[in-house]
Structure 1
Amino acid sequence: MALRITDACINCGACAVECPNTAIYEGGVPWQWAEGTQLKEVLIEGKKVDATLPQPPYTEDVFYIVTDKCTECVGFHDEPQCSAVCPVDCCVLDLDHTETQEELLAKKQFLHG
């Protein structure tokens, strides 16, 4: 499953620099599929979209994790690095987005080729 950042976030940014997928963004900042990945295009609602186009931020106030880019660091590290470095333990499993180990590895392959 992906991870999420709770409202307890103190906006230190320690998590963002550790993410191998560049899936963590500052609140209010748009994100891109291409940033930190090999993607040139993505399918969104059945349409090919330029992966460099900005996407709307998930939140305005605290750092956030883009669910579709989070692989829980599977294929990179033994544990999610955002959780490992978070000083207030606000990087937690997102129970609304469960994925198997195989699905996370497939997502890593999709993002990084």
Structure 2
Amino acid sequence: MSATFNHTIIPATDRNESATFFRELLDLQAAPAWGIFTNVRLDGDALLQFAEPPFEIQMQHYAFLVDDAQFDRTHVRLRGRGIEFWADPQMTRPGETNTEHGGRGVYFKAPAGHAIEVITRPYL
């Protein structure tokens, strides 16, 4: 069997709030929670596992590849919720969408402060 991505643990100040944020923004499915984890399922069955660590959360970067229709839905939701977004990871182009790599992309912050990127074309 070749290696495939299975799960990652995302530190959150409120694990349920973070899981709900990702589910609603990206149309993801909830997965059964267990122990300290509130889980969200990606296509291909990989899990995002949200947990509340007993230490200060350091910002992480998570990028999601979506189709054009999902990008449009996500973009509308960002605007509708008043979530600030940028066209670049340096956050110097607020309210813009980039067209890098032949697609579209935006960056924004999740509730726990993580940098989220949503793109419509892979970089490779």
TM-score where L is the length of structure 1: 0.33
Between Structure 1 and Structure 2, the one with more strand by share is: 2
Work out which of the two has the higher radius of gyration on C-alpha atoms and give 1 or 2.
Answer: 2
Greater relative contact order: 1 or 2 (C-alpha under 8 angstroms, separation 6 or more)? 1
